Amino acid sequence: MSSLSDETVESGSDEVVAKASPTQSPATTVSATPEVTPTPSASPSPETPLEFRFAALRDLADLRKDVKDARNGITQEGLGKFYWNMVEVQFNLSQLEMLLPREEYAEKWKSKLLLLSKAVEAIDTDDENLTISSAKSKLDKILQTIPPLEKIAKSLAN
Residue 103 lies in a domain: yes
Say whether 16 sits in a helix, a strand or coil.
strand
Q: How far apart are CA 50 and CA 155, in angstroms?
A: 10
132 phi/psi in degrees, rounded to 5: -60, -45
- State the residue range of the domain holding 118: 49-154
pLDDT score, position 73? 85
In a domain, 8, yes or no: no
Which of 12-16, 134-138, 148-152 has the highest average model confidence (pLDDT)?
A: 148-152
Average pLDDT over residues 96-108: 92
Whether the per-residue pLDDT at 141 is higher than 70: the answer is yes
* Residue 82 pLDDT class (50, 70, 90 cuts): confident
- Report if residue 35 sits inside a domain: no
| Residue 23: φ, ψ to 5° | -125, 145
| The pLDDT of residue 125 is above 90 | no
d(CA 76, CA 140): 17
In a domain, 18, yes or no: no
Count of structural domains, the chain: 1
Write the DSSP assignment of 35-68 as a string of letters.
-----PPPPPPPPPHHHHHHHHHHHHHHHHHHHH
Look at residue 43 and tell me if it is in a domain.
no
Task: Return the minimum-mean-pLDDT range out of 37-46, 96-105, 148-157.
Answer: 37-46
Q: Is 90 or 23 the better-scoring residue by pLDDT?
A: 90
pLDDT confidence of residue 55: 94
Q: Tell the burial category of 135 from Cβ atoms under 10 Å away from its Cβ (0-12, 13-18, 19+).
A: buried
Q: Is residue 6 part of a domain?
A: no
Q: In angstroms, rounded to a whole number, what is the distance separating the alpha carbons of residues 87 and 125? A: 10
Is residue 98 a part of any domain in this protein?
yes
Cα distance between residue 60 and residue 95, in whole Å:
9
In a domain, 34, yes or no: no
